């Protein structure tokens, strides 16, 4: 177990997370007339990624671990674009009525994203079915971990957090801001951190077990890195996130580029 064998998948996962997030933000900040072309291109990539998951499911090599991981990220990116560009969101696209609380607030908030959530669930089921019973489960595990982390982040935003990255929402999704709550802390956040840490520990135990295969080391290190980054994203809901430092290269939104200075 060399340093390169340990560090390479961790760094690769971090780079993919950083670059793919920035690329999606860049595409989402282009003029809306470009959305159809970019989403069509991403759809082709996502279909290719599903095929790659199926082809590599029976393979236990370092390359197949990287391919399965990257394929799951590509499919996840398709869902992110489908949501941020407004293609797959939910039937409700209006702000939360003032004074709405409790179950009514939750049901209205759910209606803003339910189509997106159903699409994620169906995709997760498809990936599990494509790789069922095969030795390479890295793609399926990656997608399921992303789904769990994102659900946790959404519930934390719903319950309340001080740093909600509202500036990253495109104009056609600004109504979602009204469903976020501004609170210094919520009861779910410590549980989310504990769950994320436990998951990272479990993945690390598998990845760095004695006499582990290079495939297992590589695949689970990739997912471990992604999990740690997901936990850090949770932390950035409660401390100032360095969004400009990380993704300033993704550019400003079209309306920001055309706005008068000052």
Inter-residue contact 166 to 180 (CB < 8 Å)? yes
Structure confidence by residue, pLDDT tens digits, 126-160: 999 999 999 999 999 999 999 999 999 999 999 99
Rounded to whole angstroms, how far apart are CA atoms 193 and 180? 20
Is 208 in a helix, a strand, or coil? coil
Structure confidence by residue, pLDDT tens digits, 77-97: 999 999 999 999 999 999 999
> Helices in the chain by DSSP H: which ranges?
3-28, 35-56, 62-84, 102-131, 138-159, 188-207, 214-235, 243-247, 254-257
Residue 191 has pLDDT above 90, yes or no: yes
Structure confidence by residue, pLDDT tens digits, 55-78: 999 999 999 999 999 999 999 999
Q: What is the pTM of this model?
A: 0.93
């Amino acid at each position: 177990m060399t340093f390169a064998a340990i560090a390479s998948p961790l760094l690769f996962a971090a780079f993919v997370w950083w670059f793919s997030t920035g690329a999606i933000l860049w595409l989402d900040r282009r003029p809306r007339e470009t959305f159809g072309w970019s989403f069509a291109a991403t759809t082709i990539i996502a279909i290719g990624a599903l095929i790659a998951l199926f082809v590599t499911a029976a393979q236990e090599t370092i390359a197949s671990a990287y391919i399965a991981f990257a394929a799951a990220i590509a499919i996840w990116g398709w869902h992110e674009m489908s949501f941020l560009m407004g293609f797959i969101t939910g039937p409700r696209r209006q702000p939360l009525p003032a004074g709405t609380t409790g179950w009514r607030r939750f049901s209205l908030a759910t209606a803003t994203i339910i189509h997106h959530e159903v699409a994620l669930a169906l995709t997760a089921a498809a990936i599990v079915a494509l790789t069922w019973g095969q030795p390479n489960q890295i793609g399926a595990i990656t997608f399921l971990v992303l789904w769990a982390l994102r659900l946790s982040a959404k519930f934390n935003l719903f319950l309340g957090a001080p740093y909600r990255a509202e500036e990253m929402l495109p104009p056609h999704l600004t109504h979602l801001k009204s469903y976020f709550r501004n609170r210094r802390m919520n009861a779910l956040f410590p549980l989310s951190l504990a769950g994320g840490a436990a998951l990272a520990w479990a993945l690390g135990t598998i990845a760095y077990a004695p006499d582990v295969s290079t495939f297992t080391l590589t695949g689970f290190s990739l997912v471990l890195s992604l999990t740690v980054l997901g936990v850090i994203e949770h932390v950035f809901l409660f401390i100032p996130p360095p969004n400009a430092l990380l993704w300033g290269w993704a550019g400003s939104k079209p309306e920001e580029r055309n706005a008068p200075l000052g």
